[in-house]
Amino acid sequence: MSDALRPLIVGAGPTGIRAAQTLVDAGIRPIVVDEAAAGGGQIYRQRLVPDERTPRDLYGSETGKATALHETFARIRDRIDYLPQALVWNVQGKAADVAAGGRTRRLNFSHLILATGATDRVLPFRGWTTPGVFTLGGAQIALKSQGCAIGERVVFLGSGPLLYLVAWQYVKAGARVAAVLDTAPFSSKLHLLRGLLSQPGVVLRGFRYAAELMARGVPVHFGVEPDQIEGETRVTGMIWRERGKEHRLACDAVGYGFALRSETQLADLAGCRFVFDGRDRAWRPERDLAGRTSVSGLYIAGDGAGIAGADAAELAGERAGFAVLEDAGLTVDRARIAVLERKLAAIQRFRDVLEAAFPFPDKWANSVDDDVLLCRCEEISIGQARTAAREQEVRELNRLKALTRVGMGRCQGRMCASAAAEILAAAHGQPLEAVGRLRAQPPIKPLPLGIAADGEAA
């Protein structure tokens, strides 16, 4: 490999692994940096400690895909420079700052593929910070990595395909699911019928999850408006409204989330141009079909570039790998690229179907009470954000941050920025894109105070 060609891939989920495979197959040795201890990402997360569970127990109908991805990564491990349990916390020019093992060092690269994935979108409501409340992704991590449930009687709440997947995984694992509370109306699910022609396997699998939940006696409620999670030292119950009537259910844990949001901080620090994605209700890096961004030599693919799911993540990772090869002047398989782009376009069309089937809860921003905590890091309430918007004429998200400290805490706005943008837009009745987005700041995630720099660039 030429010394001048040194690609860096951030993330070892479906996107990062397929990108690495594409480069390795072309004789390139990339660097792969990942926060997890083992490759697979969130969807195909591996166990921290081996136990009696089989791959079928962990991944269900996706076992074949998970196993294939893990085997691919194992096959190329000796042909990549792999840094697990490492955080890329900053990008400047053609270098990335990486923290691992209590130290931080700078890695130089010729090309950068960001395969950073996504996290749950959190919308606060009364009691959401009570011990025993997890995001859907957090509940899934506990089950997959540690083999434990988040509670003995769990309620799952929110909107999006992940809601049913995680609830089904818990039931299959033998956990007791008290209810599934879907904020979308039942009528919205009829949109899924439009997806039967383009993605029949995905639609039918989703129907099967819901049918099996109901067959196991799990109540599934639609059109839910969450009111309050009860409990002080631990969750004791869930209160919601449905068709104007209040309901209460005893439980000791809640897993919730309202679809996903892309992790885009590194793309921001690298200087990528952003565009507003109305479907995802979020700003994302501008990119072409191959994953090329506005910054030369920087590519973004998978859910970090816009929510599209695990299948699209694998395809997009491979396409981004080909883009690196193309831009380096190397030979690529044009026929395979055409197939990748055709499949990715079909998945994007199907994403419109999913968005219609699992719509965002539009009533939330105007219905949530003032005393509900918005930013848990800085203990800023919804009311404080609304007051700043109305009394100080704040209309832009970074201005709201400056005046209220929303987004200045440990999470750097990763958890609260989406909700804060919704509140700010609703306060003035303006479009969501009009309030802008929080500018990323390094480090993108907390670093230990005692971390040391080795002063070397690799």
**456 pLDDT tier (thresholds 50, 70, 90):** low
Give the domains, in start order, of the chain with CATH numbers: 7-119+261-330 (3.50.50.60), 122-258 (3.50.50.60), 364-435 (1.10.10.1100)
The pLDDT confidence band at residue 157, using thresholds 50, 70 and 90, is very high
pTM of the model: 0.94
Q: How confident is the model at residue 51, as a pLDDT?
A: 80
Query: Which residue matches tokens 């200045």?
Result: 408
166 neighbors 136 (Cβ within 8 angstroms): yes
Q: Which helix (H) or strand (E) holds 249?
A: strand 245-250
Q: Is it the case that residue 216 has pLDDT exceeding 70?
A: yes
Question: What is the structure's pLDDT at 250?
Answer: 98
Is there a contact between 313 and 15 (Cβ–Cβ < 8 Å)? yes
pLDDT score, position 3: 56
CA separation for the pair 354, 365 (Å, rounded)? 22
Annotate 202-238 with DSSP letters as a single string: HHHHHHHHHHHHHHTT--EE-SEEEEEEE-SSS--EE
| Cβ contacts of 210 within 8 Å, gap of 6 or more | 164, 220
* DSSP string covering 398-438: HHHHHHH-TT-STTTTTTTHHHHHHHHHHHHT--GGGG--P
- % of the chain residues with pLDDT over 90: 89
Q: Cα–Cα–Cα angle for 28, 33, 39, nearest 5°?
A: 95
Length of the chain (residues): 458
A 10 A CB-CB count for 84 gives 14
Q: Name the DSSP class of 292.
A: B
**Where are the extended beta strands (E) located within 296-438?**
298-300, 373-375, 380-381
The amino acid that residue 426 corresponds to is A
Instruction: Determine the average pLDDT of the residues in 369-393.
Output: 96
| CA distances, 427 to each of 227, 283, 371, 407 (Å) | 20, 20, 16, 18
CA dist., res. 144 & res. 108, Å (int)? 34
CB 185 within 8 A of CB 160: no
**What DSSP line would sit under 26-68, residue for residue?**
TT---EEE-SSSSSSTTTTPPPSS--S--HHHHHGGGHHHHHH
Considering only 43-52, 84-93, 407-416, which range has the smallest mean pLDDT? 43-52
Whether the predicted pLDDT of 436 surpasses 80 = yes
Distance CA 212, CA 102 (A): 46
E strand or H helix at 456, and its extent? Answer: strand 452-457
80: which residues sit within 8 A by CB, 6+ positions away?
20, 24, 29, 30, 31, 32
Prior bond of 7 cis (ω within 30°): no
